[in-house]
Copies of this chain bind each other. A is one copy, B any other.
């Protein structure tokens, strides 16, 4: 078994080796730029890991792994236009560095390039792999649309929120694992179990993100604590608080949500107090625990020796204990 670090290095090297035409520069330079900005290459590493797990040669999975990374970066480029985001991983976003038209069009080419990379699998699984990839791609777009809708929507059900984070974040993790498993020679049953593992873990990870935004140690978390509260982001915590609050607390909470002039520190403190009154952290942790349990339960059912699966268990643990 290759270590995660080794797999991440493999990806890093393969990303650096990707060659695109020189002209038109406005189309291809943004692709090289956004891919070089980095990130942890977690998604493609998961694909390689799944392939490795079933005894496949990770070199056969390298192009599909890059496909996942290029696809992920395509979604970042387009999402950043839609969210009007100035920065991504501390660097200027493509639509800011160039312009929105360049970001739209180079994003489009990235989606096509992702398909070209994903096609580099054995003919026996080609159609299956492309179907999984296409359905995932549609799901990710649906997730982004739901996310944008929820910003304007007054009432969002928790079930709809969980479905949104599943689509926007988790399905791509499941897809990476499933395709990696198929390349590695797994049966469809095992590939599906691994997909469930990735999807459920992805939802758990996103819930943890919601919790850490409020309760995380700012030194370890790397983001401003309370950022979601300041921006009224409809996180699990906020939705649960709105669900559980009695009339008086709800009025108080809505006053903070509707306030246009406020002291940020004061708002974060007040809303956190409400969250504490309603035990929303415990609810979120319970939900997170449920998804993690389902993830591990699926992994348990995968038909492989337990020590092989330990690798993914350790990976999941490392994701889920960033803080506590």
Contact = CB atoms under 8 A, between A and B. Distances in A.
B148 A101 contact: yes
A119 to B, nearest CB: 6
A154 to B, nearest CB: 17
A130 B141 contact: no
A142 interface: yes
A215 interface: no
A208 to B, nearest CB: 26
Contacts of A123: 123, 126-127
* Chain A interface size range: 35 or more
Interface in A1-45: 21, 23-24, 26-27
A21 B163 CA distance: 15
Contacts of A134: 112, 115-116, 119
B27 A142 contact: yes
Interface of A: 21, 23-24, 26-27, 78, 81-82, 100-101, 104-105, 107-109, 111-113, 115-116, 119, 123, 126-127, 130-131, 134, 137-138, 141-142, 144-146, 148-149
Given A23-B142, A123-B127, 15 more contacts: A21-B142, A24-B145, A26-B148, A26-B149, A105-B144, A107-B108, A109-B138, A111-B112, A112-B138, A113-B138, A115-B115, A115-B130, A115-B134, A119-B130, A126-B126
